[in-house]
Amino acid sequence: MRILVVEDDAMLVDAMTRSLTQSAHSVDVARSGDEADAALSTGQYDLLVLDVELPGMSGLEVLKRLRARRSTMPVLIVTVRDAIDERITGLDLGADDYLTKPFHLAELEARVRALIRRAHAGGTSELVHGGLRLDMAARRAFCGQEPLDLSARELAVLELLLLKGGRVVTKQQIIEHLYGWEEVSSSNTVEVFIYRLRKKIERCGIDIRTVRGMGYLIEKPHAE
């Protein structure tokens, strides 16, 4: 998933970024409300982690503007422990959950997983496609009962294709899903990931189809 973290504390940003990246998420960082609003106006994200107290525009104003653009992106607001009014206001403005500082990174990861499941998979932690099963919470994939040996980014590409449910995913969407602003990649990298994935999931009876000039898709099972 591609996540925007909006936070001005450099040490916390570094810890959050490393934690989320290790869970195979692509992370961009904005360090002010104005920078966040600009990023959200032009970029496509799956989740927003938003601190309330920011330089310039407040986090609550960023959230208000996001919802005014009719975005349904899941939002996790971050507040200090005693800021009850901020939490209430944030939820009223359309935040989906909140996290109070200080927090454990494991709790951040758990809340992120829960919001992504709620938004993309109807609340379940598993994506099942024929003989293939992907556990988004455990970050593991299985062919029947046998685990698949996937790298973090291979798993992230597979997750994206399954979440799209038979719709075409472009190479650019995959790049944005895997890499943040400061990372450089190319369409050739995507082709390598797709090639490896095809080899690893073909024994499950699953095929990643190339749609020439557009991208890739995994067809929905006929029973769906």
Reply yes or no on whether the pLDDT at 81 is more than 80: no
Q: Which CATH number fits domain 2-120: 1.10.10.10, 3.60.15.10, 2.40.50.100, 3.40.50.2300?
A: 3.40.50.2300
What is the Cα–Cα distance from 108 to 93, expressed in whole angstroms?
21
* Six token digits for residue 224: 């769906």
Q: What is the pLDDT of residue 30?
A: 96
Reply yes or no on whether the pLDDT at 222 is more than 60: no
Q: How far is CA 222 from CA 95, 130, 163, in A?
A: 37, 9, 16
Task: Quick: pLDDT tens for 13-57.
Answer: 999 999 998 877 889 999 999 999 999 998 889 899 999 999 999
Q: Specify the range with the lowest mean pLDDT, choosing from 73-77, 91-95, 121-125, 210-214.
A: 121-125
Reply yes or no on whether the pLDDT at 8 is more than 80: yes
Average the pLDDT over 136-143 and give the result.
85
* Six token digits for residue 45: 């994200």
With the C-alpha atoms ordered 16, 32, 79, 73, is the resulting torsion angle positive or negative? negative
Q: Specify which residues 134 forms β-bridges with.
A: 127, 141
What is the Cα–Cα distance from 111 to 129, expressed in whole angstroms?
25
Residues whose CB falls within 8 Å of the CB of residue 68, separated by 6 or more in sequence, listed in order: none
Domain segments of the chain as ranges: 2-120, 126-218
What is the Cα–Cα distance from 218 to 106, expressed in whole angstroms?
31
What is the Cα–Cα distance from 210 to 199, expressed in whole angstroms?
14
Of 109, 128, 88, the C-alpha closest to 27 is: 109
In the three-class reduction of DSSP (H, G, I as helix; E, B as strand; rest coil), residue 203 is classed as: helix
pTM of the predicted protein model: 0.71
Residue at token pair 């299985």: 142
Q: Architecture of domain 126-218 in CATH?
A: Orthogonal Bundle (1.10)
